[in-house]
Amino acid sequence: MEKEKGCVFCDIAAGKAEAYKIYEDELSVCILDIHPYTKGHCLVVSKRHVQWWHELTDEENASLFNVAKIVANRMMDKFHPDFIFLYARGRRIPHTHVFLIPTYSGDVLDRFFNALENFQESPQELARLREPVAMAEAAKILGEG
């Protein structure tokens, strides 16, 4: 696997740094986040050093999201959250990682997303994005491949 010197996720994937490993396959590894939002908060990390998930190969992407699904199902079974929050990053640590966070009604992430959804639904600038002309334009641009 491609590794980047000094990358903590590369070191974890290579077994050179300690982590609480939850699950892994040949292309991805799931670990507990050392700065959890809630009990069981995990990161699914590509074993190859790639900054953004959409730059992974199809096989790596399938692995990343398959591992995420396996662990999310375990979280649902063991912790009984309302849902599993998932998002992908690569900015602060420039190595693909997907956050899996068990989320409960009223917790910090639930409150954050309620506020974000309220924001998304209210401002004039964003309201224009819902108009049929704007939606059709975005769909056309994205559909052109």
Q: Where exactly are the structural domains of the chain?
A: 1-104, 105-145
Ramachandran assignment for 40, one of left (phi > 0), alpha (psi -120 to 50 degrees), beta (any other): left
The CATH number that domain 1-104 falls under is 3.30.428.10
pTM for this model (two decimals): 0.80
Which pLDDT belongs to residue 117?
A: 81
Query: Is residue 3 a contact partner of residue 14, using CB atoms and an 8 Å limit?
Result: yes
Which pLDDT belongs to residue 4?
A: 63
CA dihedral 20, 23, 28, 33 (to 10 degrees): -30
Block means of pLDDT (10 residues each) for the chain, length 145 residues? 77 94 96 93 96 95 97 96 89 91 92 82 74 92 82
